[in-house]
Amino acid sequence: MSIPSSVEPPARTEFEPKVVAFVCNWCTYTGADLAGTSRLKMAPNVRIIRVPCSSRVSPLFITKAFERGADGVIVSGCHTGDCHFSTGNYYARRRFAVLHELLGFLGIDTKRITFSWVSASEGPKWQQVVNDTAARIKALGPFDQYPSQRGDWS
Amino acid sequence: MNELRELARKLLADGTVKVVIGYESVGPAGWPEEGPRGVRPSFITDPSQADKLVFDSRCVHNLATYLNPRRSHIVKLGKPAVVVKGCDARAVAGLIRECQIKREDVVIIGVRCGGVVRDPTLGGGLTEQNVSDRCVGCEEREPTLCDYLLGMLPPAPPASTRHADKLANLEAMTDVQRWEFWSENLSRCIRCYACREICPMCLCVQCMADKNRPQWIDCSPTPRGNLAWHMMRVLHQAGRCVGCLECERACPEGIPLGLLGRHVAEVVERRFKYKACEDPTVPAPMGVYRPDDGEEFIL
């Protein structure tokens, strides 16, 4: 039986990106909490994973997020000088610098990753980071390029 | 050459060391006239065997890898003396810097080096086509981190822009082209881990690729596993890679792994003003920080 041409195809649902945010417990998580309690409106695409310090974020976390189907990643911690552990984010910054440039060298769009420093009092900044990232990833579309969980065997 | 053999004989005979790690000739003598392959790493424990030792432009191997404490079967042989070129001395310095070996536990025999070949089977000696990529622009033909320094300083290796061209070419590409380049190259990886096994700076007793709780990296040669493995390997080597390109030489699939290492080394040098060196007291760049490190990529 042929499908009558009068039937409209179902409306395509708009692409909603999945963004994983690795945030430090002491600044950004508290800042995100402040954004929430302040009732700031934020894109609902971001899933937060709380870590003890931004230097806890291994590049493996980021590749794993992409492998599991994340379209974008946010990594956020305390401003330099404000680390709960004094120096953690200085080390993290060096690591992220190398990671950032290596991703570019491999041809991965570095716009997929947002690094930011958001302090506990910067609720509005967190709102902006979330909204900007979600909008940017939405514009970029799904991250099909990254070989994901069901990576085809070559 | 005689200098090297006599020194090895003396060190073994007087009990200073238990094993001399060097190169031995396995074919008829004379290069490049003799057969193409003919040099391999050698572990001399008997002074009478010291005459086997050779050193010439086929000695591509980075013998510092045998000082790595994860090679327990070599540790068991006893105190080593190791033959190092200038570039290999950087790896020895790296092992000392990271407290893997103690300076006094190894005798370092430095040899002056005029460059090594990329592929001994091509024959014809050290030519522009056949010089190893790591020898181009070499500034350490005379090792400084050594107990003995042997040989005369040979002429500088022929200049070649092959490696720099490849890197510049890749950097000039668009993201999409670079992604295609690396997808194609990494798809050939069979995950034999030869790059890890030969690396003098891969120290971990249990590699992240061997861990399965959680399984960070797919151990089968899937596209995502290959990407994650090579990305993480080169990140673990950031500021530690000595640029010996042994990973590239060991790779049975000819993946240009050296380009990844070289790129990260350039990033580290530009950002953190660190270059792999023969001074073990210079701290590793990823283990220190400066308050004014660049953060233009951070919001």
Q: What are phi and psi of B219, to 5 degrees?
A: -90, -10
Predicted confidence at residue B165, as pLDDT, reads: 86
Q: Is the pLDDT of residue B289 over 50?
A: yes
pLDDT of B170-229, one tens digit each?
Answer: 888 888 899 999 999 999 999 999 999 999 999 998 899 998 888 889 888 888 889 999
Retrieve residue A19's tokens: 């963004």
Question: Are A107 and B231 inside 8 Å of each other by CB?
Answer: no
Predicted confidence at residue A154, as pLDDT, reads: 34
Of residues B125 and A52, more confidence is placed in A52
ipTM of the complex: 0.88
Q: How far is A116 from chain B (nearest CA, A)?
A: 4
Question: Are B238 and A98 inside 8 Å of each other by CB?
Answer: yes
Retrieve residue A113's tokens: 């990753």
Predicted confidence at residue B97, as pLDDT, reads: 94
Predicted confidence at residue A151, as pLDDT, reads: 43
Of A76-80, B51-55, B91-95, least confident by mean pLDDT is B51-55
In this structure, how many other beta carbons lie within 10 angstroms of the beta carbon of residue B220?
Answer: 10
Predicted confidence at residue B242, as pLDDT, reads: 92
User: What residues of chain A lie within 8 A of the CB of B227, using their CB?
Assistant: 63, 106, 146-147
Which residues partner with A21 through β-bridges? Answer: A48, A74
User: What residues of chain B lie within 8 A of the CB of A90, using their CB?
Assistant: 289-291, 293
Predicted confidence at residue A113, as pLDDT, reads: 94
For residue A93, give the nearest of B170, B217, B293 by CB distance: B293
Give the model's confidence band at B124: pLDDT under 50 very low, under 70 low, under 90 confident, else very high.
low
pLDDT of B28-51, one tens digit each?
Answer: 555 555 555 668 899 999 999 898
For residue B289, give the nearest of A87, A101, A129 by CB distance: A87
Predicted confidence at residue A11, as pLDDT, reads: 64
Residue B257 contacts residue B251 (beta carbons within 8 Å)? yes
pLDDT of B232-260, one tens digit each?
Answer: 999 999 999 999 999 998 999 999 999 99
Q: Is the pLDDT of residue B133 over 80?
A: yes
Whether chain A has a CB inside 8 Å of the CB on B1: the answer is no
pLDDT of B142-169, one tens digit each?
Answer: 999 999 999 888 888 888 888 888 888 8
Predicted confidence at residue A10, as pLDDT, reads: 63
Nearest CA in chain A to B259: A105
Retrieve residue B237's tokens: 């080597």
Predicted confidence at residue B111, as pLDDT, reads: 93
Is residue A145 domain-resident?
no
For residue B179, give the nearest of A60, A145, A151 by CB distance: A145
A·B CB contacts under 8 A: 122
When divided into structural domains, chain A yields a total of 1
Select from A108, A121, A101, A96 the least CA-distant residue to A147: A108
pLDDT of B255-269, one tens digit each?
Answer: 999 999 999 999 999
Chain A residues contacting B via beta carbons under 8 Å: 59-60, 63-64, 67, 80-81, 87, 90-91, 93-102, 104-110, 114-117, 129, 145-149, 151-154
Predicted confidence at residue B32, as pLDDT, reads: 52
Tell which B residues from 215 to 274 touch A, by Cβ distance under 8 Å: 216-218, 221-225, 227-228, 231-232, 234-235, 238-239, 260, 263-264, 267-268, 271-272
Predicted confidence at residue B28, as pLDDT, reads: 56
Predicted confidence at residue A152, as pLDDT, reads: 44
Range of the domain at A29: 19-140
- Ranges under pLDDT 50 in chain A: 150-154
Predicted confidence at residue B123, as pLDDT, reads: 65
Q: In CATH, what number is assigned to the domain containing residue A92? A: 3.40.50
pTM: 0.88
Q: What are phi and psi of B21, to 5 degrees?
A: -95, 115
Whether chain A has a CB inside 8 Å of the CB on B295: the answer is yes
Nearest CA in chain B to A149: B224
Residue ranges of domains in chain B: 2-150, 162-287
